[in-house]
Amino acid sequence: MLDALWNLSKPEEVFKFPPISPFSLCFLSRSLEQIYRRQVLRVPRKSVLVTLATPRLTPVTNGLVHFIFFILVSLACFYNFPNLINGELVLALPYVVFGFGLCINGLFLSVIFSDMLAWNGFCPSGTHILQRFYSILFDWYVRNIFGALMLCSPAAFVLANFQLCMFWNSRTLNVSAAAEFSIGEYRMVHGILFTFMLFNLTLFPNFSSWTKSLSATIICLTSCLLMHWPFQGFSYSCPSQVVGFSAITSAIDTNSPPVWLAAAESTLFPWEMTVILSLNLILIFFLNRDIDISFRVSFNRDFEASRAKKAISREKMQGEWLLENIIPRFVLTDLRKTNKYSQHVKDAAVMFASIANFSEFYDEQYQGGQEMLRVLNEIFADFEHLLSSSRFKDVEKIKTIAECFMAASGLNLVQRAQNKSPDAHLYALMDFATELLKTLEDFNRQMFNFQFELKIGYNVGEVTAGVIGTTKLLYDIWGDTVNVASRMYSTGQKARIQVTEDVAQRLSSQYDFEYRGNVFVKGKGEMRTHLLIGRKADAEPY
């Protein structure tokens, strides 16, 4: 697990500058960039704590803030520009821009709020449609185009109210003091609006930083162009604007004008505003860049942590799988608690199945016997495949000894207690033994020049099960029952299952046996043994 974690990313590299292009700020890995762009489309899992920083919720909070900003800027324009209220504008452009901005902001909010209600279960009937519409709107390119229009809406409304003649030079002309006050007031109001109308372009970290920075650049260039073009003196071609705006400046004392008025009336005021806009643009550019980088650093760190977590989980699952193939699962529970396991089991069934003529097949002269061992592995793999059947849930493979396959049943006392019949595990192992004979017959049909022969010994009795070792663990069973089962296969007949007389009597309700005779068993002397004929036709299912 540690090796897998180390191979993913070195710890000191995770917190460095993320693997992104310094210019475009896109991830160098195309697949990682696609994942980053799609994160806003992921619905949070119920098990995950949802916060305002959750990618799916970020557009909601930013959309609300932007809508409030748009309304405040609009109210400021309606308050400071009387022509908007009294309808004296010659062109309807400001109303069109305001309506467009209101619609595009309202559409954005309605989509994200409807989607939020849908994935929270408040609108189950339209969930699919809403989420589909949300996924279209938040596609990377659609998101940035739509976002650019929405982010430019406050500044566009301010610029739509821009009166060109108010910013042209008035010093060279003989104009009234009231007109100069109106011009100065107008310039100051627009200067303040120009200063604040770009701040919303740092919202929405889900949008590209270049989209926001380029939008700010276009707004700044347009503002500067309007302030400096054309370079000619003030003309009374727009007297209504001056007269209309003078309603605000009527309270100003012409004998003692405010300090800011001289600066606002100066011919250098447009250049001063140009400097302010340029500084704001630089600030917004670096803010957007730093915000984008910080979000990508956070995403890259979370992504690497997720990869490491999955790698560890995968290694853990593989380790569990390997361990369960060495030690039965029911043993692992106790082994994890106490680091040791031993159990005395009564009425356990033990079986040995040996390929009697494998030594005749084995030839060490040919590739050191590797091909023969491959064949043996295929046979045992077919045997083990039978254990995946629910019929043999009580059967456990114990080990293989050369060409001998050892299995037992009834070792899991908890599972054994759930069986309908107390002898169900005995019948399961006997059926497993008969299936081994059939499996080997099927395997022999694929062999052209050799036929393997299987001898099986079966016995029932008390055993002791346990795990030996601390590093290389070994699960095994011991007892006289195991020894007798081993003798049953060693003295048995090919393609037959040999049992003791006690076992034949114990299983006589389910199986038919034929008496073989007395067989000498080392350590036991002469023993009466029987050979399995088959399962009774009228045997009840267990």
Q: Say which DSSP state 39 is in.
A: G
Residue located via tokens 């293989």? 400
* Amino acid at residue number 512: D
Task: Please report, to the nearest 10 degrees, the dihedral formed by the alpha carbons of residues 384, 385, 391, 395 taken in order.
Answer: 10
- 395: β partners: 409
Distance between CA atoms of residues 82 and 470, nearest Å: 89
Does the active-site annotation cover 487? Answer: yes
Taking each helix axis from N to C end, the angle separating 140-160 and 177-196, rounded to the nearest 10 degrees, works out to 170
Distance CA 305, CA 15 (A): 12
Pick the catalytic residue from 37, 296, 393, 487: 487
Report helix, strand or coil for 24.
Answer: coil
Contacts for 525 with CB less than 8 Å, ≥ 6 apart? none
DSSP 205-242: TTS-HHHHHHHHHHHHHHHHHHHHSS--B--TT-HHHH
Peptide bond preceding 239: is omega within 30 degrees of 0, i.e. cis?
A: no
β-strands 395-401, 404-409 pairing: antiparallel
| Helix locations, 327-446, DSSP H | 329-338, 358-361, 370-385, 413-417, 424-444
Which among 316, 374, 494, 522 is annotated as catalytic? 522
Closest CA to 210 of 272, 145, 261, 165: 145
Catalytic annotation present for 296: no
Could you give the residue numbers annotated as active site? 487, 522
